[in-house]
């Protein structure tokens, strides 16, 4: 039996994973600009505490609204234009957004003007970038899953998370590098612009690579372009296995589209809740506000930026753990283990803050040992997420939905993820800067919530999530079939 062309699959997966790079880059680049956004757009308004914190949280997290829109339309785009063309469009939108976010006055006023009147334009560009990220966050893992052999699909889809982490890690270095070229005044006036505008470079790379890769066989079959699908399959799995794989795909697409709940509500429920829990554990609150978090522990501004780099390195290292274990250990063990590790870390961090064992003012005297434990707790938390809920959620979302409902179902699940992301990212600064909550919990309240959510996430996986390792996408479809006539005969997976 012909073996899969792993060199070609790897190349195509890496190209599509650039969509993940955009995702990670945008997730972390905003962390370096938080103070500048507040200084230029929020503080001059002299708002009351609650209104100020809410507007600040919205300005920083508004891209997530675009992500919800992008994820919501990505299903229709994946079915209408295709996975490849959708990623190409996402790259273009992100390119425009990156330059506009860094220089929102372009086309509206003199460059360098950063008064409060530029805030609506800035928000508009950030939302446009969010649309691109929402599209790419769904289309990239879908593309990778559909060109990957079953035995290694988890590994290849995990490349999406590797790219997300690479984008996050790269941004932490870039932000720290830009910050090092001037004082705090430079960061607030100029440095933040270069941080946000630098995201245009990976957007260009995504567009370039999407012009070079083919469409997925499953999309081509969906559009009744059988000959093109067969040609791609011959390159991916070899001439001998291409015909059998094509027949298997065609069997699941006897009806090209089905009603959303054709395979029952449980599959959609699992997908949505996996997305929701991936965000309720608080990961993007940590990534977006890493420098702020470390300043709460007593670090100076420069030290906080470099400690954020440590977060990025940890994210990279432990994502590699998932890369090499997701197809060996399985999806469920990694998810449960990771959730428990995150719970322990967040509960520890919340307790340290609550007991005033870490300082909350840069330069304040406090227990160095306790601050070191707090930083270690953040590192452990990032490691727990990176080896489990970061990559494995995307693996599951790319494979659990049957072919005939995949576009609609995955779009809903990913949109739910971005809605939850927006909720978590917007509420974190409100909780972290609340005088009442800090008087009672000293910055610890949010971390306790994230720890509790991690425990519930572990229980959810134990009860509802099926194991999918080494199953073909068509075999997974049969797990969800609700009627006997929906089941298809599935041959042994082509490896």
Closest CA to 452 of 345, 349, 347, 378: 347
CA distances from 202 to 8, 14, 119, 207 (A): 22, 13, 25, 9
Average pLDDT, integer, range 369-374: 69
Q: What is the tens place of the pLDDT at every residue in 305-359? A: 556 667 767 877 888 888 788 888 888 999 999 999 999 999 998 888 878 666 5
Q: What is the pLDDT of residue 320?
A: 81
**Average model confidence (pLDDT) across the chain:** 80
> Taking a C-beta distance cutoff of 8 angstroms, is the pair 343, 455 a contact?
yes
Q: Looking at the predicted structure, is the pLDDT value of residue 488 above 60?
A: no
Q: What is the pLDDT of residue 394?
A: 84
Average pLDDT, integer, range 31-57: 80
**Cβ-Cβ contacts under 8 Å for 415 (sequence gap 6 or more):** 68, 71, 72, 134
Q: Which of 274-283, 332-341, 364-373, 401-410 has the lowest mean pLDDT?
A: 364-373
The CA-to-CA distance between both ends of the chain, in Å, stands at 9
Q: Looking at the predicted structure, is the pLDDT value of residue 190 above 60?
A: yes
In eight-state DSSP terms, residue 215 is P
> Taking a C-beta distance cutoff of 8 angstroms, is the pair 402, 480 a contact?
yes
415, two tokens: 């949109």
Average pLDDT, integer, range 217-236: 86
Q: How many residues does the chain have?
A: 495
- 293 or 434, which is more confident? 434
Q: What is the pTM of this model?
A: 0.72
> Taking a C-beta distance cutoff of 8 angstroms, is the pair 389, 345 a contact?
no
| Rounded percentage of the chain residues whose pLDDT exceeds 90 | 20
Where helices occur in 223-330 by DSSP H, the ranges are 226-237, 239-252, 265-280, 283-288, 290-296, 301-325
Average pLDDT, integer, range 137-162: 83
| Rounded percentage of the chain residues whose pLDDT exceeds 70 | 82
Q: Looking at the predicted structure, is the pLDDT value of residue 478 above 80?
A: no
Residue in the block written with tokens 């134990």: 462
**Which stretch, 36-40, 396-400, 451-455, has highest mean pLDDT?**
451-455
Say how far apart CA 433 and CA 8 lie, in whole Å: 50
Q: Looking at the predicted structure, is the pLDDT value of residue 470 above 90?
A: no
Closest CA to 136 of 15, 13, 18, 287: 18
Say how far apart CA 300 and CA 274 lie, in whole Å: 37
Q: What backbone phi and psi angles, to 5 degrees, belong to 72?
A: -65, -35
Closest CA to 315 of 266, 261, 396, 378: 378
Q: What is the pLDDT of residue 221?
A: 86
Where helices occur in 362-404 by DSSP H, the ranges are 368-386, 389-399
- Domains of the chain as residue ranges with CATH: 6-486 (1.20.1250.20)
Q: Looking at the predicted structure, is the pLDDT value of residue 490 above 50?
A: no
Q: What is the pLDDT of residue 484?
A: 34
Closest CA to 399 of 231, 82, 158, 230: 158
């Amino acid at each position: 039996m012909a073996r899969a062309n792993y060199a070609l699959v790897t190349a195509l997966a890496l190209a599509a994973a650039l969509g993940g790079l955009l995702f990670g880059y945008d997730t972390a680049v905003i962390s370096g600009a938080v103070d500048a956004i507040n200084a230029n757009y929020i503080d001059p308004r002299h708002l009351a505490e609650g209104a100020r914190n809410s507007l600040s949280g919205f300005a920083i997290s508004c891209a997530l609204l675009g992500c919800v829109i992008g994820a919501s339309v990505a299903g229709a785009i994946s079915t209408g234009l295709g996975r490849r063309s959708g990623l190409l469009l996402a790259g273009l939108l992100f390119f425009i957004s990156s330059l506009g976010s860094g220089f929102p006055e372009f086309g509206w006023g003199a460059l360098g003007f950063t008064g409060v009147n530029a805030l609506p334009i800035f928000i508009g560009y950030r939302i446009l970038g969010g649309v691109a990220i929402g599209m790419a966050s769904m289309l990239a893992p879908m593309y990778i899953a559909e060109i990957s052999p079953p035995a290694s699909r988890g590994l290849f889809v995990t490349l999406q998370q590797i790219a997300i982490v690479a984008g996050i890690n790269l941004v932490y270095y870039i932000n720290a590098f830009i910050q090092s070229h001037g004082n705090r005044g430079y960061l607030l006036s100029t440095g933040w612009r270069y941080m946000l505008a630098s995201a245009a470079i990976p957007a260009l790379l995504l567009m370039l690579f999407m012009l070079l890769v083919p469409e997925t066989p499953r999309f081509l079959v969906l559009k009744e372009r059988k000959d093109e699908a067969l040609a791609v399959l011959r390159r991916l799995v070899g001439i001998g296995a291409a015909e059998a794989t094509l027949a298997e795909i065609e069997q699941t697409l006897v009806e090209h589209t089905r009603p959303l709940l054709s395979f029952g509500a449980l599959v959609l429920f699992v997908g949505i809740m996996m997305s929701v829990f991936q965000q309720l554990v608080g990961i993007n609150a940590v990534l977006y506000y890493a420098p702020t978090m470390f300043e709460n522990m007593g670090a100076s501004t420069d030290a906080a930026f470099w400690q954020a780099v440590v977060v990025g390195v940890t994210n990279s290292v432990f994502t590699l753990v998932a890369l090499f274990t997701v197809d060996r250990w399985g999806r469920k063990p990694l998810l449960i283990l990771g959730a428990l590790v995150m719970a322990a870390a967040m509960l520890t961090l919340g307790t340290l803050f609550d007991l005033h064992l870490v300082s909350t003012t840069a330069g304040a005297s406090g227990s160095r040992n306790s601050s070191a434990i707090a930083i270690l707790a953040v590192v452990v938390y990032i490691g727990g997420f990176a080896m489990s809920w970061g990559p494995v959620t995307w693996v599951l979302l790319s494979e659990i939905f049957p072919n005939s409902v995949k576009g609609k179902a995955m779009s809903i699940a990913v949109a739910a993820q971005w809605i939850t992301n927006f909720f978590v990212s917007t509420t974190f600064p409100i909780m972290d800067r609340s005088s009442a909550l800090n008087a009672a919990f000293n910055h610890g309240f949010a971390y306790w919530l994230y720890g509790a959510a991690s425990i519930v996430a572990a229980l959810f996986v134990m009860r509802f999530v099926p194991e999918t390792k080494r199953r073909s996408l068509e075999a997974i479809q049969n797990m969800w079939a609700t009627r006997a006539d929906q089941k298809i005969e599935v041959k042994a997976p082509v490896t």
